[in-house]
Structure 1
Amino acid sequence: MKKLLIPIFVIVLAFNCNTNASAQAPDAVKKTFQSKYPGENDPDWHKDANGYYEANFKIDGIKYRADFKADGSWVETETSIDKKDLPKAIKKVIESKFKDEDITEVEKVQSATKGEFYDVEFKQKGKNKDVEFRADGTIIN
């Protein structure tokens, strides 16, 4: 039994080392992250489907996810919010245009290219539908 456990331990240890190494962000990304979020020293790094480096972290108990390109440029930062916390103008648009659809997720987003907006995900068969709103209720996608 001991002979079997040692090779398994070595394989698990090697796998964990490779996973952590691939999830580490380049220095340029870490530098941009630190300048944008000073004092946040322990984000969890992942690489997403778009090839961006994702930092998952908390500020004052609120969870954030920030995306960066490999060159260090910031893409966007998202945080999940409750549907009840959406601006009133967005709630009115949802009530009039999407009243029969179920909301699965709501995020407040700060984007390098789009500025601040709210991403509301509606349940659909297959892939869910994301609708992006400005605070004044304007749909931007």
Structure 2
Amino acid sequence: MKSVLLLLSTILFSTTVSAQKISESKVPTAVLISFKDKFHDATKASWRIENNSGYEAEFLIDRTKQSAKFAKSGKWLKTKNEIKVEELPIEVSQTIAKEFAGYKIEKAEKAETASSGIVYEIKLKKGNEIYEAIINASGKTLKKNSKK
């Protein structure tokens, strides 16, 4: 019983401290340099520290909200921005129609990582059923999770 309570409290604590807002002055110089090199047109950046393992910036480029994650070393890890359903590549739309027939797209995001390239993170809903899927640009489903 004690181990169950310990596990539950650990999970609860870890979710509450998983991302903490910080001021730009607390972001390591290497991260700021990497951010400014990669996103030189970014405006209105706000920062969070993620599980004490890296940093995430939310910012605007041409009035489009984006986020980017960086390792403590300054290495860029991931960029993500919300897109309109109409902006999905035809291959991704075809995969959704085939694998998720009857589901409505709640949210579509374009994500890019150094290791995976460009992928699309899609949240789909049908009734009480919710799926989150990651689909690459050629339409291959890389991951799908049910969030019932």
Q: TM-score range by the shorter chain?
A: 0.7 to 0.9
- Give unmatched runs, 5+ long, in structure 1: 1-18
Partner of 1:5: none
Aligned to 2:67: 65
Q: Which deviations, in whole Å up to 9, do the C-alpha atoms of 1:61-83 show, x marking residues without a partner?
A: 11110111111111100010011
Task: Give the TM-score normalised by the residue count of structure 2.
Answer: 0.70
RMSD: 2.6
Helix, strand or coil at the partner of 2:33: helix
TM superposition score normalised by structure 1: 0.73
Distance between the aligned counterparts of 1:23 and 1:137, measured in 2? 41
Q: Identity across aligned pairs (percent)? A: 27
Q: State the number of aligned residues.
A: 122
Residue 32 of structure 1, aligned match among 7, 11, 34 = 34
Are 1:45 and 1:56, in contact at CA under 8 Å, matched by a contact in 2?
Answer: yes
Q: Where do 1:1-141 residues align within 5 Å?
A: 20-21=22-23, 24-40=26-42, 42-48=44-50, 51-123=53-125, 128-141=130-143
Partner letter of residue 123 of structure 2? E
Question: d(CA) in 1 for partners of 2:100 and 2:72?
Answer: 37
- Alpha-carbon separation, structure 2, partners of 1:75 and 1:93: 26
Residues 43 and 61 of structure 2 are in contact (CA less than 8 Å); yes or no, is this contact kept in structure 1?
A: no
Amino acid in structure 2 at the alignment position of 1:93: T
Query: What secondary structure, in the 3-state scheme, does the structure 2 residue paired with 1:100 have?
Result: coil
| Contact 2:108 2:121 (C-alpha < 8 Å) held by counterparts | yes
Pick the structure with more strand per residue.
2
- The structure-2 alpha-carbon separation of the partners of 1:116 and 1:26, relative to structure 1 and needing over 3 Å to count, comes to same
Could you tell me how far 1:102 is from its partner in structure 2? 3.2
CA contact (8 A) 2:24 2:47 kept: no
- Per-residue CA shift, 1:103-132, capped at 9, x if unaligned? 221101111111111111224869x53211
CA distance in 2 between partners of 1:92 and 1:73 (Å): 34
Deviation at 1:99, TM superposition (A): 1.3
Q: Aligned partners of 2:25 and 2:131: how far apart in 1? A: 29
Gaps of 5+ in 2: 1-20, 144-148
Task: Check the 8 A contact 2:44/2:60 in 1, yes or no.
Answer: no
The alpha-carbon deviation at position 42 of structure 1 amounts to: 4.4
The DSSP-based 3-state class of the residue aligned with 1:121 is strand
- Structure 1 residues 24 and 93: alpha-carbon distance in aligned structure 2, compared to 1, 3 A threshold: same
